[in-house]
Amino acid sequence: MKTSSAKPSPKTVQKTINYVKRYWTLYLLLLLPVTYFIIFKYIPMTYIQIAFKKYSIVQGPWEMPWADNYGFEYFIKAFSNRDFLLALRNTIMLNFLDLLVGFPAPIILAILLNELPYKRFKRFTQTVAYMPHFLSWIIISGLAKQLFTPTSGLVNIVLGRLGFEPIPFLNDPVHWVWTYVFLGVWQSVGWNTIIYLAAITGINPELYEAAEIDGAGRFRKIWHVTLPGLRPTIITLLILSLGRILGSEFDRPYALSNNLVTEVSNVISTYVYAYGIKGLQFSLTTAVGIFQSVVCVIFLFAANALAKKFGERGIW
Amino acid sequence: MVKSKKTKIGDLIVAFFCFLLILACLLPMINVLSRSLSSTDALIRNEVLLLPKGLNFDSYKMVVDDPKYTWSLVWTAIITVIGTCLSMIMTTICAYPLTYDNLKGKRFINALIIFTMYFNAGTIPLYLLLKDLHLLNRPAVLVIPYCLSVFNMIIMRSFFYGIPESLRESAEIDGAGPIRILISIYLPLSTPVIATLSLFYAVGRWNGFSDALMFMNNKREYWPIQLLLYNILNNVTSIEVSTQEGFTKPGLADSIKAATVMFATVPILLVYPWLQKYFIVGVTLGSIKE
């Protein structure tokens, strides 16, 4: 037997030739996508080392000299930089509020839509509710500015006619935060119902019938049948959301921000843009980026492990 | 089944909440549309709520007459079409081979791809790479760096998995190779997923902003519509355009901004309702666990 493993038998050679003959086109198809992932996802990972090095424009990342403090100079710098700490705080705060308000919203809406007996009206509501998802944050910020301007925006004109003081929705830090969260819900709530509605369709109708026979009303059926049926979906999406608690969108805070609210609107992504691409502090901002990526991965794994500990299926 | 009076009232309450949601989604659009069609005097006097006052199309004329603006719209349409085609090809040729269960090295390639979903190097390393590749401020930078989305690839692969394997096997017996099977069996059966993913990629490109801001900032002639719009809305930089005259008059500036928002929004709003039944399938596929 030993000789056969060292010297493949003619049979296995023939098998390999047949295999390659049959499938070589599949490898040809994969060539371009794999090249894409290597160039645009993996080669940037080799640039990560500049977070630990003194950036120099004339040297490649491999030749740059190591930074001070065993290479951690720029991490220390980031964590003693007031703007970064503020951006870190804002990222966590805005994501947490998003989770608190934006996570339950599509669950409630999906249940509401499921209770709606008028089919055509339901379909129309869904179509309209999906619309904001297709608008860019630039456009939403344009809409928001036109609606919420203290003097000339629709909302404040109406408030004024009703005898209320105008509300500085986008021009004062506290109001800005809530406007930011509300606009996020507005943009995503309809779209995020799709997954929940699909999960509701998968619930066994016999369960509803059984609940009805037991005398359950609308709310009891929602509580004892619909919500338990949604549970696996809710847990999966919650894990993914927790994994993103330190992740940051760029377009949304950048488009909605203005000079009056930068103390709450600057997040990690906008900090990296301002300090890195505009301020050319590449080592510092790469360090910030790694910190963010690593923490995101840790959170995702932790959330998944926690879910499994409580007997849920987790995401993998 | 006879419904009791109580449930009917409940139905009406549910319908009422849905009606409120419809209003919340549509009113902002109606308001901006009215502003774009109203006279400057009415805008200055804050009279425009939901219906245009002093109906006119001046702001639309000013936008259309502005070559920078019309070019940006055309340019965005061009990169949207090219980008979507490229992305669909890449997504297909990535997803299809990975549906062959006995493909050697499949697990490795799979892991290589999925890993990039969970960990990425960040903005600055990508920026520096594009700089080293001399892609910054080149038109290709708006199409290539984000041309393949792992998430969309997984959706397509899930859809391919749903196609009965017996179809493939019988074609193989007839002597068809993998590419032939892809073109003559898989793709014709994949209209829903092709429609969905094309919509996702096209909307992503049409709405794309941050990549243009970061990688294309110095070449104003290649600014896509969202970047131009951002600068118009925030009065950033002196945009040497004819619409600038309008900005000296406060009311007109307002209605021009509203008109530009409408121009950037309407193309998408015209398309997505027709694809609704497809993208619902697509999103649901994306949530299926491996």
Per-block mean pLDDT, blocks of 10 residues, chain A (316 long): 57 81 89 96 93 82 79 89 94 94 95 90 93 94 88 84 87 93 95 92 90 87 91 88 87 93 93 93 93 91 85 72
* B108 and B71 in a common domain: yes
* A263 and A185 in a common domain: yes
* B190 and B84 in a common domain: yes
Distances from the Cα of B23 to the Cαs of A104, A125, A193, B19, B29, in angstroms? 21, 10, 18, 6, 10
Residue A33 in any domain: the answer is yes
- Contact with chain B for residue A251, Cβ under 8 A: yes
Residue of chain B nearest A199, judged by CA positions: B284
pLDDT digits 0-9 by tens, B18-46: 999 999 999 999 988 988 898 888 887 77
Question: Comparing C-alpha atoms, which of B263, B256, B269 is closest to residue B224?
Answer: B263
> pLDDT > 70: what percent of chain B?
91
- Contact with chain A for residue B117, Cβ under 8 A: no
pLDDT score of A84 = 94
* A172 and A143 in a common domain: yes
pLDDT score of A161 = 86
Q: Which of B18, B59, B93, B216 to mutate to test the interface with A (most CBs of A within 10 A)?
A: B18
* A34 and A76 in a common domain: no
pLDDT score of B6 = 59
Q: Which of B32, B283, B287 is closest, CB to CB, to A146?
A: B32
pLDDT for residue B119 is more than 70: yes
Amino acid letter, residue B99: T
* B51 and B105 in a common domain: no
pLDDT score of B67 = 87
As a whole number of angstroms, the distance between CA A74 and CA A79 comes to 9
* B45 and B123 in a common domain: no
pLDDT score of A216 = 83
- Contact with chain A for residue B13, Cβ under 8 A: no
Residue of chain A nearest B17, judged by CA positions: A112
Domain of residue A45 covers 2-52
pLDDT for residue B3 is more than 60: no
Question: Comparing C-alpha atoms, which of B203, B231, B206 is closest to residue B217?
Answer: B231
Domain of residue B268 covers 61-286
Residue B189 in any domain: the answer is yes
> Do residues A105 and A189 touch, judged by C-beta distance below 8 A?
yes
pLDDT score of B249 = 61
Residue B195 in any domain: the answer is yes
Q: Which of A129, A152, A293 is closest, CB to CB, to B21?
A: A129
* A152 and A41 in a common domain: no
* B89 and B31 in a common domain: no
* B28 and B115 in a common domain: no
pLDDT score of A167 = 87
As a whole number of angstroms, the distance between CA A197 and CA A192 comes to 9
Beta bridge partners of A53: A66
> Do residues A312 and A235 touch, judged by C-beta distance below 8 A?
yes
Q: What angle do CA A255, A257, A258 make, to 5 degrees?
A: 120
* A95 and A48 in a common domain: no
Residue of chain B nearest A144, judged by CA positions: B28
pLDDT score of B212 = 95
The domain total for chain A is: 2
Kindly report the nearest CA distance between residue A1 and chain B, in angstroms.
25
Distances from the Cα of B131 to the Cαs of A3, B122, B141, in angstroms? 54, 15, 10
Residue B236 in any domain: the answer is yes
* A133 and A16 in a common domain: no
The domain total for chain B is: 2
pLDDT digits 0-9 by tens, B245-269: 555 566 677 788 888 889 899 989 9
Kindly report the nearest CA distance between residue B125 and chain A, in angstroms.
5
pLDDT score of B216 = 92
- Contact with chain B for residue A24, Cβ under 8 A: no
* Residues in contact with B86: Cβ distance below 8 Å, sequence separation at least 6, in sequence order: B143, B144, B147
> Do residues B48 and B42 touch, judged by C-beta distance below 8 A?
yes
Residue A92 in any domain: the answer is yes
Distances from the Cα of A249 to the Cαs of A68, A243, A316, B27, B272, in angstroms? 31, 14, 25, 26, 24
* Residues in contact with B31: Cβ distance below 8 Å, sequence separation at least 6, in sequence order: A143, A146, A147, A154, B48, B49, B50
* B39 and B130 in a common domain: no
Residue A59 in any domain: the answer is no
Q: What is the CATH number of the domain that holds A280?
A: 1.10.3720.10
Q: In B, which residues are within 8 Å of A233 by CB distance?
A: 287
* B195 and B278 in a common domain: yes
Q: In A, which residues are within 8 Å of B113 by CB distance?
A: 33, 37
Residue A157 in any domain: the answer is yes
* B36 and B106 in a common domain: no
Question: Comparing C-alpha atoms, which of A188, A195, A210, A183 is closest to residue A265?
Answer: A183
Interface of B with A in 158-217 (CB under 8 A): 177-179, 203, 206-210, 213-214
Q: Which single residue is written with the structure tokens 């049948």?
A: A225
Question: Comparing C-alpha atoms, which of B241, B13, B20, B282 is closest to residue B151?
Answer: B282
Question: Comparing C-alpha atoms, which of B100, B197, B216, B220 is closest to residue B150?
Answer: B197
Q: Which of A194, A277, A289 is closest, CB to CB, to B283?
A: A194
Amino acid letter, residue B82: I
Asked if A131's CB is within 8 angstroms of B25's CB, the reply is: yes
Q: What is the CATH number of the domain that holds B277?
A: 1.10.3720.10
* B271 and B195 in a common domain: yes
Kindly report the nearest CA distance between residue A30 and chain B, in angstroms.
6
Question: Comparing C-alpha atoms, which of B171, B167, B186 is closest to residue B98?
Answer: B186
* A175 and A97 in a common domain: yes
Question: Comparing C-alpha atoms, which of B3, B18, B17 is closest to residue A217?
Answer: B3
* A263 and A126 in a common domain: yes
* A298 and A221 in a common domain: yes
* A112 and A47 in a common domain: no
**What's the whole-number average pLDDT of chain B?**
87
Provide the sign of the torsion angle of the four alpha carbons A147, A150, A152, A154, taken in this order.
positive
pLDDT digits 0-9 by tens, B57-103: 888 888 888 888 889 999 999 999 999 999 999 999 999 999 998 88
Q: In A, which residues are within 8 Å of B119 by CB distance?
A: 293, 297
* A98 and A133 in a common domain: yes
Kindly report the nearest CA distance between residue A2 and chain B, in angstroms.
24
* B143 and B29 in a common domain: no
Q: In A, which residues are within 8 Å of B98 by CB distance?
A: 30
Helix (H), strand (E), coil (C) string for chain B = CCCCHHHHHHHHHHHHHHHHHHHHHHHHHHHHHHHHHCCHHHHHCCCCCCCCCCCCCHHHHHHHHCHHHHHHHHHHHHHHHHHHHHHHHHHHHHHCHHHCCCCCCHHHHHHHHHHHHHCCCCHHHHHHHHHHCCCCCCHHHHCCCCCCCHHHHHHHHHHHHCCCHHHHHHHHHCCCCHHHHHHHHHHHHCHHHHHHHHHHHHHHHHCCCHHHHHHCCCCHHHCCHHHHHHHHHCCCCCCCCHHHHHHHCHHHHHHHHHHHHHHHHHHHHHHHHHHHHHHHHHHHHHCCCC
pLDDT digits 0-9 by tens, B212-256: 999 998 888 999 999 999 988 887 544 444 455 555 566 677 788
Q: Which of B125, B229, B287 is closest, CB to CB, to A48?
A: B125
